[in-house]
Structure 1
Amino acid sequence: MRISAQGALTLAAVLDAGTMEAAAEQLHITPSAVSQRIRALEEELGRVLLVRTKPLRPTDAAHAVVRFARQVSLLAHDAAADLGEGADVTSVPLAVNADSLATWFLPAIVRLAASRPVAFDLHRDDQDFTAAMLENGTVMGAVTSRSDAVSGCRVAPLGVLRYVAVAAPVYVERWLPGVTVPEPGGGMMDARMREALDAAPLIDFDRRDELQTRWLVGHDIDPSRPPRHRVPASHEFATAAELGVGWALLPALQAAAGLARGSLVPLGGPPIDVPLYWQQWNLTSPLLDAVAQEIIDEGRRALSPWPSAV
């Protein structure tokens, strides 16, 4: 089976833009020409590639074609650079979890954007779900908690993103008065604090956030009992904790400033460590390899050591 590079690139443009019209504007052709290219590609492959709803959605068969299109674009960029023709700025889509984006990830992107003709298209999701975007061709690389390589990808350990339980002093005064808070990194809390946390509100990032639940279970507290707020943005999540909305687990990198100035206090107990890995397409590309090296170096500098990364 041969896949038309022009058709595949058009399909990727349509999915990125969301509509035939927007893709046509980017490709400098008419919407009719975009539609004809997609239909011709579907006929060549004998598969439906687009669900023609609003917005347009890819079928399962489209994922491999989109991945092929992005690889063609990347290799074309590398070839132009090798030929000394001054490669155009190319888009590099990457997936990253919200807490990495809020703490350690951006400096690597800043350095890369300053030194190479590249524009980054960042996709944010939970670290347990970013790997799926590699599989469906949405991104070329991802920060993920998945240690086993996605098919067609290679993996490198980054380090551990350490989370600590914190709350605002005003929150502790209201919801945990008179209890003995264990030392950070220490053992189990006493019965009075466990009883208080049964009713004390906490903050989850979203419905998929399990960190607060894991911390409660680790202290033998029923996680179904406390009221839960949801704040699905990293900066606002941390701000909500500092304002006393609820207690939460924050990355130690993010909590450090609040703990130093006293706007946050530790709730003690062992931290929760989330190992992070970098995965990227197993493709020989100087540009993608340079992106990977900057991100791996930054991750290993900023994150806590992970045994497999040593």
Structure 2
Amino acid sequence: MNPAHLDTLLSIIDEGSFENASLALSISPSAVSQRIKALEKSVGRVLVSRTQPAVATEAGEVLVQAARKMALLQAETREQLAERLDEIPLTIAINADSLSTWFPPVFAQVATWGGATLRLRLEDEAHTLSLLRRGDVLGAVTREGESVAGCEVVGLGSMRHLPVGTPALRDRYLVDGRLDWEQMPVLRFGPKDVLQDRDLEGRVDGPRARRRTSIVPSAEGFGEAVRLGLGWGLLPEAQAAPMLATGEVVQLDDQVVDTPLYWQRWRLESRMLARLTDAVVDAARAGLRV
């Protein structure tokens, strides 16, 4: 199997199209197309769905994972041979709440590693493993403690979410001293927001009425929407603490949500992946509940 063909496949998936891959590889679009056709002919399978963006087929995902491993090992070999290291793309799947709270110290660590670069894929922590299984990323912050085949897992700690809203919102939906959870407007991060989808468990019995739901797909924007009274939501403890201290929001009840988080990475003899794992674990231990 031609390594140049594998590298071309990986570039198409990372860059999103044949045209962008040609720019990244400094070859013509026709050369990109010819390489992929040759690779598909050699394995007897269609490897890339010609969509926008381009995505790997099931067979292509297997080769993408192999190509990413080869690219990482080749880059590290060049570094060990004291050759010029342009960049090592360390691809990570992470949820928005982690990225906006405890994860940023990892940036400071990676910044000291010469030519290393990070490529982050934002996904709900309940869904990050799908990117790891497909070979799209080298590691993932996830709520799943059972390791994916070919990966190893490290416990990071627990992220606590608090049910918060503005005092005015709380008072508006108090009925005989109890909150009307079904009528009070609520916030969602997005359609895969598993955490928020369970927010009525233990608060409402029986059938649940359809609620006024606003979707804000940004961790910072979500916090601002809560602070300004658009609805109530489950905020990470670190994000909610300053607003609770100033009285801009209040904790609506004592029912908090603790979510164990894990770091899963490819089981690969890689110094860079080991350093990345150490940086992620250190940041988590400082920013999450043990």
Q: Would the TM-score normalized by the shorter structure come out above 0.5?
A: yes
Aligned length: 289
In the alignment, which of 116, 132, 153 is matched to residue 134 of structure 1?
132
Partner of 2:37: 39
Alpha carbons 1:217, 1:223 under 8 Å: kept: no
- Quick one: distance in 1 between partners of 2:287 and 2:10? 34
Alpha carbons 1:130, 1:143 under 8 Å: kept: yes
Alpha carbons 1:128, 1:145 under 8 Å: kept: yes
Check 1:118–1:223 CA distance in 2 against 1; reply closer, same or farther (3 A cut). farther
SS in 2 for 1:283: coil
Q: Note the C-alpha offset of 1:85.
A: 2.0
Segment drifting more, 279-288 vs 210-219: 210-219
Q: Note the C-alpha offset of 1:169.
A: 1.6
Residue identity in the other structure for 1:240:
A
In the alignment, which of 215, 222, 229 is matched to residue 244 of structure 1?
229
SS in 2 for 1:258: helix
Residue identity in the other structure for 1:155:
V
Partner of 2:118: 120
Alpha carbons 1:19, 1:56 under 8 Å: kept: yes
Partner of 2:16: 18
Partner of 2:85: 87
Report the RMSD for the aligned CA atoms in angstroms.
1.5
SS in 2 for 1:218: coil
Partner of 1:148: 146
Partner of 1:301: 286
Segment drifting more, 287-296 vs 13-22: 13-22
Q: Note the C-alpha offset of 1:15.
A: 1.5
Partner of 1:65: 63
In the alignment, which of 267, 272, 282 is matched to residue 257 of structure 2?
272
TM-score by length of 2: 0.95
Segment drifting more, 152-161 vs 216-225: 216-225
In the alignment, which of 257, 272, 283 is matched to residue 242 of structure 2?
257
- Quick one: distance in 2 between partners of 1:261 and 1:270? 21
Partner of 2:216: 231
SS in 2 for 1:61: helix
Check 1:220–1:53 CA distance in 2 against 1; reply closer, same or farther (3 A cut). closer
Report whether the alignment pairs 1:291 with 2:276.
Answer: yes
Unaligned runs of 5+ in 1: 180-191, 306-310
Alpha carbons 1:167, 1:242 under 8 Å: kept: yes
Q: Which string of whole-angstrom CA distances, capped at 9 and with x for unpartnered residues, describes residues 79-136 of structure 1?
A: 1121122422121111000100111112112321233321111000000110111111
- Quick one: distance in 2 between partners of 1:197 and 1:134? 37
Identity of aligned residues (%): 38
